[in-house]
Chains A and B, each alone.
Chain A
């Protein structure tokens, strides 16, 4: 039996779900079952689905592919001129392998297959670029924002008290005072 969703791979996963009085059954292949968000086979609830990243990707990849095909069919877009035989000069990996297993051959493949990968990457992550994390000791938003100075600590307590007493002007004044102290410290 073929997978009900992709109609390509053999169905190996059978699951039923009961919502109210209605029971729905599905026969899916491993990949589509994972993509459905049913970590059926991982009976260990402490265990995190190891194939998650891969299936998320495939899911997105297929969606993108279908979208592209629909656009081509509707005549809105010319067929992409990406050659599936395209090879990475560094490792010899072919773009067609990537389409089969969702993995690239080496870190240089990103450069070699740039044209084919760009739309895919934006469909997965959005049209964004990487943002560097702050150095380790600054990544805690608490230590990042909050000075450990005792006088600042005292002022902060006063702010909480002022807010509780609904003395917002007082709280704002205290906040500015902390700001000044912290600029002094950093400057």
Chain B
């Protein structure tokens, strides 16, 4: 197995508290780029694909960021390792699952990765903790401009950057933020508020809670269209909507705590008890519990733990991470046990105030 060093790193982007991190888990910006005259990855032969990998690798190696980049041929590593990189936000699930010659160059600390031969020849992306879309965009824009002088990207004056799928034309930019909206979910207002978000040209994806009401209330919002506006404007728009969501969520939290403080406190403390003491726990239950703990930290009901720790746990409790920690492949029962062990270990010093 490889990439063990990613488990022990304590400098990864998600371990830093970013702006508005009490509501915004992470921000991500990505650009899609294709090489002029070459067939798109899904339509090319292994030889053509590896030519693209070589060409892009060469260009990336000349970047100032190159010394910190790790270059990996995805078809040469195990599927567990690919899943691990997916959980670590360095490649997409599609990139992990696709066949053929494909590669990634990444800097886990900076949340920066170059996905080669995913849907497009090259996808560059940057993750940041909290609401930091603008910073992520600037960072990526600079890298993109350096690459532009080394690679011939396919571009049309009307359509902008040409991409395998027409949804990405234009700037080929997608700006997304992952929001945690527990109070809105608790009040059954999330659907209504998010409906409003879709009406201003953004896409919402979510994981609705089923078992408890403060469930894993995580939602992603991103721009729907990438053509006809400057990248900076798209980013500004998503950022503005995200800010409004932060405001609405915090306001709602304040109100529900005024009205039902003890009930919520009870729920949060119970979640802590479960996560600290369970011996077998599913991913779903762990996510619901971590969602409640986030609220506990924000509302200063819990001590001995902070949001970056909780971000870290969101990643560590995923299947491939648990297998990596255990040092072997795990069946579902063993995985649930390992998850419980990790949670109680990391939450050892967490306490109700």
A interface vs B, CB < 8 Å? 16-20, 37-40, 42-54, 56-57, 60, 90-91, 93, 101-108, 110, 117, 120-121, 124-126, 128-136, 139-141
Contacts and interface: CB of A to CB of B under 8 A. Distances in A.
Given A53-B119, A133-B231, 8 more contacts: A18-B210, A43-B284, A47-B93, A102-B165, A103-B40, A103-B42, A132-B230, A140-B134
Most chain B CB inside 10 Å of its own CB: which residue of A18, A44, A120:
A44
A120 B188 contact: no
Given A46-B178, A53-B119, A121-B166, A107 B232 contact: no
B166 A38 contact: no
Contact of A131 (B94, B119, B203, B229): B229
Nearest to B156: A110
B12 to A, nearest CB: 11
A49 B232 contact: no
Chain A residues touching B, majority SS: loop
Contact of A134 (B157, B164, B230): B230
A122 to B, nearest CB: 9
A15 B10 CA distance: 37
Interface in B272-324: 283-284, 287, 311, 314-315, 318
A139 B136 CA distance: 12
Given A46-B311, A129-B158, A103 B230 contact: no
Given A18-B210, A108-B37, A130 B142 contact: no
A117 B167 CA distance: 11
A5 B274 CA distance: 39
B130 to A, nearest CB: 13
Contacts of B28: 48
Contacts of B87: 44, 47
B25 A46 contact: yes
B178 A16 contact: no
Given A16-B210, A46-B314, A104-B40, A140 B205 contact: no
A54 B119 contact: yes
Contacts of B34: 107
B205 A37 contact: yes
Contact of A17 (B36, B171, B208, B218): B208
Contacts of B176: 48
Contact of A141 (B93, B154, B174, B232): B232
Contacts of A105: 39-40, 43
B16 to A, nearest CB: 14
A110 B159 contact: yes
A46 B87 CA distance: 8
A130 B166 contact: no
Contacts of A37: 203-206
Contacts of A110: 156, 159, 162
A39 B203 contact: no
Chain B residues touching A, majority SS: mixed
Contacts of B265: none
Given A43-B287, A130-B227, A56 B204 contact: no
B236 A128 contact: no
Given A45-B218, A46-B25, A133 B232 contact: yes
B225 interface: yes
Contacts of A19: 188, 191
B175 to A, nearest CB: 11
B20 interface: no
A19 to B, nearest CB: 7
A91 B206 contact: no
B92 interface: yes
Contact of B207 (A39, A50, A120, A141): A39
B159 A121 contact: yes
A133 B174 CA distance: 14
B157 A139 contact: no
Nearest to B145: A136
A102 B231 CA distance: 24
Contacts of B231: 133, 139
A133 B230 CA distance: 5
B14 A46 contact: yes
Contacts of A135: 145
A158 B348 CA distance: 52
Given A52-B203, A56-B167, A106 B39 contact: yes
A42 B207 contact: yes
A131 B170 CA distance: 8
